Amino acid sequence: MHATELKNLQAPLKEKYREKPESAVITLKAEGKVGEGISCKIETGRAMAEAGLHPATGGTGMLACSGDMLLEALVACAGVTLQAVSTAIGVEIRSGTIKAEGDLDFKGTLGVSKEVPVGFKNIRLYFDLDTGATDEQMASLKKLTERYCVVYQTLTKGVAIETKYNSSI
């Protein structure tokens, strides 16, 4: 795709977001199921993911959105960490569902508004568990899962990212 094609594709969306700013705020979601052993099954619908533009930025919706993939990574990591923690502290989880959803304002992503930050405005993480755990055990599961989930910690604490761009001549 060339720059002109992309601009033409996104122009109507940008105009829509200028006229109706609330239409640029989209909630992305991901869900995973606690699996056998220490695992979490993420429903992606694809054996191999190919990332592309979200429909709110001109994509077709046929390719995986990186925002969805970020939420899926959070769900997967939280699910695996939850199972590792529950195994370590002896709390049986018969089954469970972990869900993440996050709100994006695409006016920032498309440069419609410099005041709107690029990225998720907020993310919510839900755990629905079939377990006989006591309130004290549930508090421990929450505390330890949040403490040891790599993706959760990365998102909540932030991380410096170094970028390098190489060009071959």
Q: Per the domain annotation, does 164 fall within a domain?
A: no
pTM greater than the 0.85 cutoff:
no
pLDDT tens digits in sequence order for the chain, 169 residues long:
556 777 788 889 989 999 999 999 888 777 777 766 555 666 665 555 667 778 888 888 877 788 988 999 999 999 999 998 998 888 999 999 999 999 999 999 999 999 999 999 999 999 999 999 999 999 999 999 999 999 999 999 998 988 988 888 6
Q: Per the domain annotation, does 65 fall within a domain?
A: yes
Rg over CA atoms, the chain: 19
Q: Per the domain annotation, does 169 fall within a domain?
A: no
Count: domains in the chain: 1
Task: Quote the pLDDT of residue 10.
Answer: 85
Range of the domain at 64: 3-157
Q: Per the domain annotation, does 163 fall within a domain?
A: no
Q: Per the domain annotation, does 71 fall within a domain?
A: yes
Task: Quote the pLDDT of residue 141.
Answer: 96
Task: Quote the pLDDT of residue 93.
Answer: 93
**Looking at residue 99, which CATH number applies to its domain?**
3.30.300.20
Q: Per the domain annotation, does 30 fall within a domain?
A: yes
